Each structure stands twice: as structure tokens, then as C-alpha cells.
Structure 1
Amino acid sequence: MAKQLVEVVRTDKDTNTTQHKTMSSNYDIGAGTGQLTIQVWNDDRQKHSQGYKPSMYFYVAEELKEQGKPSRSIPFLLFNYLIRGMDGVVIAGDSLTRSISQVYFIQQPSDDPCGFSSLNVMPRTPDTMHTFDIQSWIDEPIEHTEDKYMPQFIIDELLGNKQPQEQIETDNKQVDIYKRRLDIIRNMTKDDEDDDPSLTESDKALISFFDTLMPGFGEFEAEKNKERMERHRANKRQEETLKLKQ
């Protein structure tokens, strides 16, 4: 239904056009935090008993971003792409009016299925607007480029150089990286029953990371955390009052 609604108002009248232009293997409109795209990615990689490479698939996702307002879902959508080593594009903006805030290009620079992806914000050029059917830009542009050069595996492919057989590493170092990532996620799942709902250092680091991607997210999250703290204190006072009455 979302796809059909978008096609009604798009200038090219067909989301398949953008999918064709980007040669994407999956196009997710209203992606949220990316759960559907992640499921497709998981199904795709499981098709290969061995030899899976991130460059085999390219995932495009669109998620709502209102002008002047931070998004709570887009940072997590980007995060889900990055930690899985996916290749693709995330378009932040209004899928109906085609007013776009940012276009994020995500790639695994060494084509390593066990590595993390890098994040680049695409420049606001006519080519970008044409490729993604962008009618207008909103918000201030973000200048953020992690890939300064073309990945070596692409150069080798273009030149016809033979690639050495890469061995998938599953040593303790890689496992520790995933454990640290999981710790960050766990720290974000506190509720009002926790003894201390204040932000940990991992929380602060992650919010700082998101604030770089989406300016204003840090301030927005600080306000939400203040509300959580006030709600936590109110619950504590209520519990103490009930104990005194008993």
C-alpha cells in the first residue's frame, strides 16, 4: 500500500525506476528502523553456503524525516545497516512530496562479510536528485565522508585482477567487537524500574555518534532522558508514599 501511494505522487510514477537506477536488490519505503530490510538481507546471505559478499546485494530504504525535526528511527536504521556490513542507500525525507533531508550512501569498503560498513552523505548534486527523484532539499546539508577513495576490491574488479581467496575470521577479537556492540544496545533498554536510569558512558558515546549523523538528535535525546528521570523520581515518591500509608 505504501508503495502504491508513493507511486501516485512521484514525478516518474514508478518506484521501480529508482530501484532500476540504483540497481538495488530491495527497495523499502517507510523502512522504520529497518526490520523488513534486515530480514531480506538475512534471507539473501543465507542463500550462500559460502562465498557471500556484501557487494552482491544493494538495499535502498526510505524513512520519514520532517524539516527541522530530528528523527528517532533513522539513526537506528543507519546503525542497523552499518553493524551488518550492508551495502545500500538510506533516503531521509518525505516519500510523497520527495522533499529530502539527506541521502546516505553505505558500503562495506573491503567487501568483508564480517566487517562494518562505512557511512557517506551524498552531495546535493543534480545527479543525486535525478537518481532518487528528489524534488527539493530540506534541512542543512551534512558533510560527512568516510570513504575518501574507491575501494580496492572495485578497482581490482574493473582491472580484472584476481582476488586472493579470503578466509572468514571468527576469532575472539571479532566476537569481542560484537559483544561491545551488544552492551551498547543493552544500555539503551533501561526502564523506570532500573536503579539508575541516567545515561552511561556507552549511552553518551552512542548518542554523540547519532548526533553527528542527525544534528539535533543529542538535544532531543537529552530532553527525553530528562523526562525519564522525572518519571523515575515520581514513581519513587509514589512508592514511598504508599509504604508510609501501609
Structure 2
Amino acid sequence: MADKKNVAILGATGAVGTQMLQCLAERDFPVGELRLLASARSAGKKVEWCGRQIELVEATPEAFEGMDIVLGAAGDDVAKQLLPEAVRRGATVVDNSHAFRLDEDVPLVIPEINAEDVSWNHGLIANPNCATIIGLVPTWPLHKLGHVSRMVVSTYQAASGAGAPGMAELEAEICAMGRGEKLPEPRAFADQLASNLIPQIGSEKFEGYTSEEMKMQNEGRKIMHEPGLRVNCTCVRV
């Protein structure tokens, strides 16, 4: 049996953190201690995992002591503040946020494409954007055969891409529509999402493209080691 690893999840109560917990269970990952890190207001609450009751711990630099692996499921600001502290304390970090993806000292990895880049990590490994992964995995074999230099991409991304607040907002809108009530003001999205499509994910970033639309090009260049890759991307929230 593989040696057990002490694992921490930063942002354990969010949509991504919850999915990470599920993946650890599904893969029967050899977890020793599991430390679930969340905000101060969530600290002390308990989460059930594989028949164990695990108490949530406030996310502080000291909370990473003794951890072998840290999975990052928090936003960019929290990731930038806390994950370098985990590295300083000896953990290997795999981060799902955007905070370190384009940092030249941090490998950005899709295992099916550039798993070898993990070898030069300095304690921190970045996970690409969801649409980048989905778009590049089938593109990579074509690239090896014929050298892909340009991609025209449209993505249609679910409310879950905005995390738990996005899913809650969509549910509240659908419930209000069903009751014939006025819909709540949108907060997680730029407009009403229920029975709608919103052709904007993220803020305007570059010549009319949004931050989400630029990710596939910028991240794809790094992952594929193809600095000249051009991607014309349109991202729509569904």
C-alpha cells in the first residue's frame, strides 16, 4: 500500500473544494491526516468524509504545518496570500486558481499533454482553466501530427463555473420564475441567467476579449510550449 500523505484543501467548503474531497474518496487516495481549511466563520464546523467527521480549520499560514500535499480551491487573492506559505512549510501545492498559472516559475500542467513539466516545480503546480483543459486535450494529438497554430473556439459554460454562489443564484431565479415573482438582482453574473445566455464570462481584458476568453490562448501557449498559438475564443454562460 502506498505511503499515506497528509493532505490539506484550501477552500474546502466551496464547489471546487467539495469536488476535491469527492475525488480523493473515489480514487481511494492514501490520505493520512486530512485538514480542511476555510474562512474563520466556517472554522469549527464539521464535514463528513469517508465515515470520518472532520472539523474545519481556519486558513492561516500555520495551518499548513505538517502537510505533504495542499490542494488549492480558493480565489486568487487567498491563493496568493497563503499558498506560498504552504510551500515554505514543505508542502507540494496543486492550485486550481488563476493566481500562478502564468508565473514562469510555476509549471502549468495538463497530465495528458505536459506531465513532464511537473519535474521542474519549486513546490507549486498550477491547474489550468476548465475550458483550456477541455479544449487542449483533443487538440494535442492533432498538434503533434500537423502543428496547430490557430484555434477558433466557442465555450458554453454552466453556472457551476461561478462556484456555489453562481449555482445558488440560478436556483433562486428559477424558483422565482416558477412562483411568478420578481427575480432577484444578479450578483454572481452580469445579467439574469435563468432562461438566458450571457455572452460574457469575466471582465474585458484585451481588445474586446474577456479575461476568460484570453485564458485558452495564454495558458495554451505555456502548456503546449507554443508561444505563437493564436486562439479566437468566445465564452458564453449558460
| TM over 0.5, shorter chain | no
Which range, TM-score by smaller chain? under 0.3
TM-score, normalised with respect to structure 1? 0.22
TM-score, normalised with respect to structure 2? 0.22
Structure with greater helix share of residues: 1
Computing the radius of gyration over CA atoms, which structure comes out larger, 1 or 2?
1
Structure with greater strand share of residues: 2
